[in-house]
Amino acid sequence: MLCYEALVMKPRLHYRAFGIRLAIVLATAVATVGVVPAVAGDGEFSETLHELDLLHLQDRHDEVHAGVDRALSRGGALGRGGLSEREQAELYMRRARAIVAEVELSYYSDEMPGDEARRLLSEAEEHAERAIELNPELADSYFWKGAAMGTRGVIRGVLRALFMAGSIRDLGEAALERNPDHTESHFLLAQLYDELPGRPLSFGNDARAVSLARRAHDLHEAERLDWEIEMRYDSVEVGVAERLWSRNWSERRRERRHDGIREDYADATDALERSYTYEGSLELKPISDRDEARQILSNVIERLEAVEAAGELSRRQRTDLEAAREHAEDWGM
């Protein structure tokens, strides 16, 4: 078994084995930041969703569950004969999200045993699947089902996560088919394409991983500007640095390969193909991948250490800073 793991798993300098975990850090931080999806016809219900999203951003997950329960029980009192399937889907998706977020925070800080984490993640998958059944067009539900599945696989073991990878990819792509600008799914797919071995063992692809990570970063920056969000979720930038470090193209190889990626981007016929070749739409610095990765990481550490010095570091920012410092040590910075 150990020999097989060594064969199929790509050699990594990553600080976590099979790094889906960082995708969950991003997703927990970024999902529906400050924005409530439009739910037609009921201002009261939209306000409920907004309150649930604010609680999520504050990691008050028990209160999210209580709010979902209240909304479901009050469905008949909203004046239209109960909640629509679309509205119920929004609630079940948020319940799944809350479970994954709490497991991510508690399990990786050794506050939750593995068997409890797996049980809760199975529940999250069921809630996400229920949301998909109620509204097949809600992109978030596909993402959170994939996030729950991937985290559960990692907790059960590397090989289990590897065998789940195809299903997780399909869920991420399903989310992007419904919302091509879904930041979290870009980040999740970037993780998968980076961490997995390439053909014939699996579908890992370093170039796709970097394009997806850059797309996730640019989408998040656009969201921050459009929604006037003050907080930057640094795991997005760390993710770009990780993907670049893993790809490890020299300056000369970057320049040579970028021409081909530009052509692939220009020839892309749908949004998913454009995401897979997104780097072809960008101008790259005339440096190597790892030099760019170090620059990105230095910026993240400098920014977070300034927040730390001011005594204002959040729980998530502390996690991101610890990860960035660990990378800096591994990368000889």
- Chain length of the chain: 333
Residues sharing a CB contact under 8 Å with residue 129, sequence separation 6 or more, in sequence order: 141, 145
Answer yes or no: do 281 and 302 share one domain. Answer: yes
Answer yes or no: do 50 and 157 share one domain. Answer: yes
pLDDT in tens, 217-262: 999 999 888 765 566 778 899 999 999 999 999 999 999 999 999 9
Answer yes or no: do 29 and 124 share one domain. Answer: yes
What CATH number did the domain enclosing 46 receive?
Answer: 1.25.40.10
Task: Tell me the whole-structure pTM to 2 decimals.
Answer: 0.82
Domain count, the chain: 2
Residue 290, pLDDT > 70, answer yes
pLDDT at 8: 32
Which of 151, 159, 169, 162 lies closest to 25 in space, CA to CA?
151
Residue 79 lies in a domain: yes
Domain boundary among 160, 175, 204: 204
Domain boundary among 204, 235, 266: 204
pLDDT in tens, 128-160: 999 999 999 999 999 999 999 988 888 887 656
Residue 114 lies in a domain: yes
The C-alpha atoms of residue 204 and residue 194 are separated, in whole angstroms, by 6
Answer yes or no: do 274 and 189 share one domain. Answer: no
Residue 95 lies in a domain: yes
Answer yes or no: do 81 and 177 share one domain. Answer: yes
The C-alpha atoms of residue 98 and residue 37 are separated, in whole angstroms, by 17
Answer yes or no: do 154 and 179 share one domain. Answer: yes
Percent of the residues in the chain that have a pLDDT greater than 70, as a whole number: 83
- What's the CA dihedral at 153, 154, 157, 158 to 10 degrees? 110
Domain boundary among 159, 180, 204: 204
Q: Range of 31's domain?
A: 17-204
- Whether the upstream peptide bond of residue 200 has omega within 30° of 0, thus cis, is yes
Residue 29, pLDDT > 50, answer no
Mean pLDDT over the full length of the chain: 84
- Segment 312-324 shows an average pLDDT of 87
Residue 32, pLDDT > 60, answer no
Answer yes or no: do 194 and 288 share one domain. Answer: no
pLDDT at 41: 45
pLDDT in tens, 100-120: 989 988 887 788 999 999 999
Give 71-101 as a 3 state SS string.
HHHCHHHCCCCCCCHHHHHHHHHHHHHHHHH
